[in-house]
Structure 1
Amino acid sequence: MSAAWIAGLSIPGIYLLAGLSMPLLLWWERRRPSAYSRRPEVLAEWRGMSTEAQAAHDNAVLDAEEAAEEAARRAGQRAVEDAARTNALYRP
């Protein structure tokens, strides 16, 4: 089997698979949006919540964001420390 024959079948196959899977992916995104939705039923559910529940939700989201930022900062700092330690071992 030559490389040209494999490329001649695999590249159109990839395009065909992508084209056939796109309607499925769009349907899935429409049913379960990955971003904030402006659909009327989602907004109605949010507006139906009490002010206290909305505030609690907002505070929980902000707390989770701060925790994620702190974890990323610590991971970055740890990576720099590990790199410095490795560098010190091999380049004294």
Structure 2
Amino acid sequence: MLRSLKNLTEEDKAAIKYLSFLTLKPTMYIANVNEDGFENNPYLDKVREIAAAEGSVVVAVCAAVESDIAELDDADRDEFMAELGLEEPA
């Protein structure tokens, strides 16, 4: 991947920028975890380790909770999110 080439100069990057290589774009890892899987999760820790080595970001989400939030009306959504300590859905 071009992203992993550490010896590309700014001039090199500028010369190939118009080609819009996906492998030059920043990456983000989205990890779907259980509701209680945000801490002490060896799989999430491994994703974070890989991302850190690449200089990437990890966003951990619980898709099941996000799905529940999406189905609620505004009042219930606010109450549910407050119970979970969330300010906004992912």
Largest Rg, 1 or 2: 1
Higher helix share: 1
Bigger RCO (CA 8 Å, 6+ sep):
2
TM-score, normalised on structure 2? Answer: 0.23
TM-score, normalised on structure 1? Answer: 0.23
Higher strand share: 2
